[in-house]
Amino acid sequence: MIHEAYEEFFGKSSERELVITYGRLRGYNAAIRMSPSRIEVRASRQWKEVSPEIQKGLVQVLFARLFKVKQKTVSMDLYHHFVRSLPKVMPKKHNHPVLEESFNRVNEQLFGGLMQRPNLRLGKGINRLGTYEYTSDTVRIAEYLLEYPELMDYVMYHELLHKKHQYKEGVQRTTHHSAKFREDEARFPRAAELEKELQKLVQRQKGGWFW
Ligand SMILES: [Zn+2]
């Protein structure tokens, strides 16, 4: 499959050895790396169950990322379609009572109650206020935000916007704060002030601020 993916993508066969392994990655994550003699794709175990055509798309998306090539194939379209459907089908195993209240407030006020609840979990680190993981449909909110309901809601809103806006190209790693995203984000009441308050709060915490 990986050879076929390569040949279809580059129009020639690879001079390097091509390897795909399935292992301990979360959700539907995957990664690629290259050495002078070898290109290795690592995919989570879940990928094993996915149809070869979609897996081929995954591998090609990783090739495109690795070689910084803009190219589209039918398999890549299938892959994107598959990944876009993941939040809907991923099981909702995780919840947290305070985060759920926050989610309900934000959903009611800013999404007209139309947002489907994602997995909700606390983040243990202090470097990230919040994250949204597309491939498991999970919002994580930093635990220390529980004490600041308004800021928590604001971060919750930010992460839910990631779910709403989905993604353009890559699934992991790329952050997607498009102009439209920022426009939406500013609809949160007192957004600009809260942004400043968050920054102050973060300055009081150790480490950088990535979200
Ligand atoms: Zn973000």
Same domain as 175, residue 111? yes
| Res 169: pLDDT | 45
Measure 158 CA to ligand 1 centroid, in angstroms: 6
Domain of residue 69 covers: 2-89
Same domain as 173, residue 108? yes
Measure 44 CA to ligand 1 centroid, in angstroms: 24
Same domain as 68, residue 117? no
What angle do the packed helices 52-67 and 2-10 form, to 10 degrees?
50
Task: Show the DSSP H helices in the chain as ranges.
Answer: 2-10, 52-67, 74-89, 97-110, 149-165, 179-185, 191-204
Domain end position, chosen among 89, 115, 133:
89
Q: What secondary structure letter does DSSP report for 206?
A: S
| Res 210: pLDDT | 46
Same domain as 123, residue 73? no
Q: What secondary structure letter does DSSP report for 49?
A: G
Measure 137 CA to ligand 1 centroid, in angstroms: 14
Measure 176 CA to ligand 1 centroid, in angstroms: 6
The tens-digit pLDDT sequence of the chain (211 residues) is 999 999 999 999 999 999 999 998 888 889 999 999 999 999 999 999 999 999 999 999 999 999 999 889 999 999 988 988 888 888 889 999 999 999 999 999 999 999 999 999 999 866 689 999 887 889 999 999 999 999 999 999 999 999 888 755 444 445 578 888 899 999 999 999 999 999 888 887 755 544 4
Same domain as 109, residue 137? yes
Q: How many domains does the chain have?
A: 2
| Res 170: pLDDT | 44
Contact 144, 123 (CB under 8 A): no
Instruction: Measure the CA–CA gap between 94 and 122, rounded to whole angstroms.
Output: 10
Q: What are phi and psi of 25, to 5 degrees?
A: -115, 155
Measure 211 CA to ligand 1 centroid, in angstroms: 5
In a domain, 47, yes or no: yes
Same domain as 122, residue 66? no
In a domain, 210, yes or no: no
**Tally of CA atoms within 13 A in the half-sphere of 74 that contains its CB:** 3
Measure 105 CA to ligand 1 centroid, in angstroms: 19
Domain end position, chosen among 89, 111, 128:
89
CATH (domain of 162): 3.30.2010.10
In a domain, 209, yes or no: no
Same domain as 76, residue 154? no
Measure 189 CA to ligand 1 centroid, in angstroms: 18
Report how far apart, in Å, the C-alpha atoms of 153 and of each of 108, 129, 135, 182 are.
Answer: 12, 11, 22, 16
Measure 191 CA to ligand 1 centroid, in angstroms: 14
Model pTM score:
0.71
Same domain as 141, residue 81? no
In a domain, 211, yes or no: no
Same domain as 162, residue 101? yes
Instruction: Measure the CA–CA gap between 177 and 42, rounded to whole angstroms.
Output: 27
| Res 175: pLDDT | 54
In a domain, 146, yes or no: yes
Please, which residues have CB within 8 angstroms of residue 91's CB and are 6 or more apart in sequence?
none
In a domain, 133, yes or no: yes
Q: Which SS3 state, helix, strand or coil, does residue 148 take?
A: coil
Measure 141 CA to ligand 1 centroid, in angstroms: 12
Two tokens, residue 197: 């308050």
Measure 154 CA to ligand 1 centroid, in angstroms: 12
Same domain as 79, residue 124? no
Same domain as 84, residue 102? no
Domain end position, chosen among 89, 114, 147:
89
